[in-house]
Amino acid sequence: MIQQIKTKARRIMVTGGAGFIGSNFVHHWSQQYQDDRLIVLDALTYAGNRATLGYLEERENFCFVKGNICDRNLVDRLLQEEHIDTIAHFAAESHVDRSILGPGAFVETNVVGTFTLLEAFRQHWLSQGKPEDYRFLHVSTDEVYGSLEANDPPFSETTAYAPNSPYSASKAGSDHLARAYYHTYRLPTIITNCSNNYGPYHFPEKLIPLMTINILLGKPLPVYGDGQNVRDWLYVKDHCQALDLVIQKGTPGQTYNVGGNNEVKNLDLVNLLCQLMNELAPDLPVKPSQDLITFVKDRPGHDQRYAINASKIRTELGWTPQKTVEEGLKETIMWYLTNQNWWRPLLSTEYQAYYQEAYGQKFK
């Protein structure tokens, strides 16, 4: 466990705090710093689930607000009434497939929403006399850097941006805004670009929960193309440790890449997941679950490889990931096995329609 260094009590607003990474961060922060005031702002779109926050809503120093980050009046009011000194910005449309099917929502939330937050936080920061300890953490993705070939060096903080999907383009735009607000106004923004996250509370359309749930239900395991695309996998709890350190010790105006040091081909990951499910899950409808693997048409503009060079955050802040892919997958599988009451209600009619359009096959 990395030793965190708490420098001050904070009043922190977490946007997208009912989503996957955001909710894991909220749980992490509330456990580490129980005296801090936590405000979660979430629009509760398809990937947001208020039930994920659970027991936290009983705490006096926790508040959930349903709302859109594009609502400037709401954001202004929360910043002023709650005396917010820190924003951890997770709210985003985040699935590449959905951005291909409907890019407009990605531009609205990821670009316009981030601009709205930055401008509101800037005015709030100015009204308080530009405190040096205020922070705006913008949580982004390695997909802004584009795609790597097999022998290319991993992405670093100085890699040129080359986004290849509407999702990654919208995140690149929000990164540029966060960076510009530091260089233009000296607003204390910090950007993090992370590799593929996995772990508890992950919406079922993402690769690892999708495969886990489909194995439990005996449904096909759709693998894009030939399954040779490579991703760097980061356990979400390791990511939250990194973000904690960035808020506490990171330098405003800087970018920190956060990677899991776990490059795996998609097909190899699915096979490993099948192997673990065969061992850990009782009474599977199809066993071995590898028999469910089904190759489907590759998605447009599918990036070949992502890999993160996380040496900067290691040397400057002392962070390294703690979980290997196999260790993290085991914990993730056990969470999905014991929390079926969380994910089963998410298999809605709307999700089934998306699944059929994305993968060319019915979920049920």
Q: Which of 36-40, 110-114, 150-154, 179-183 has the lowest mean pLDDT?
A: 150-154
Task: Tell me the pTM.
Answer: 0.92
Q: Which helix (H) or strand (E) holds 231?
A: strand 230-235
Catalytic residue among 33, 145, 167, 201: 167
The C-alpha atoms of residue 192 and residue 238 are separated, in whole angstroms, by: 14
Average pLDDT over residues 314-343: 96
| Position 45, amino acid | T
Let me know if 326 is a catalytic residue. no
| Domain ranges across the chain | 11-201+232-263+304-323
Do 356 and 302 contact (CB within 8 A), yes or no? no
Average pLDDT over residues 273-300: 94
Which pair of structure tokens corresponds to residue 189?
């923004």
Tens digit of each residue's pLDDT (9 = 90 or more) over 4-57: 566 678 999 999 999 999 999 999 999 999 999 999 999 998 888 999 998 999
The DSSP-derived string for 112-160 is IHHHHHHHHHHHHHHHTT--TT-EEEEEEEGGGG----TTSPPB-TTPP
Q: Which of 72-76, 116-120, 350-354 has the lowest mean pLDDT?
A: 350-354
**Residue 361 banded pLDDT, cuts 50, 70, 90:** low
**Residue 252 banded pLDDT, cuts 50, 70, 90:** very high
The C-alpha atoms of residue 49 and residue 23 are separated, in whole angstroms, by: 9
pLDDT attached to residue 246: 98
Catalytic residue among 143, 205, 263, 303: 143
Average pLDDT over residues 297-314: 90
Let me know if 142 is a catalytic residue. yes
**Residue 1 banded pLDDT, cuts 50, 70, 90:** very low
Q: Which helix (H) or strand (E) holds 63?
A: strand 62-66
Instruction: For the domain made up of 11-201+232-263+304-323, give the CATH fold.
Output: Rossmann fold (3.40.50)
- Strands 255-258 and 189-194, by their bridges, are parallel
Residue 360 predicted with pLDDT over 70: no
Which residues 6+ apart lie within 8 Å of 24 measured at CB? 199, 200, 201, 236, 237, 239, 240
Residue 216 predicted with pLDDT over 80: yes
pLDDT attached to residue 362: 54
Catalytic residue among 42, 85, 93, 142: 142
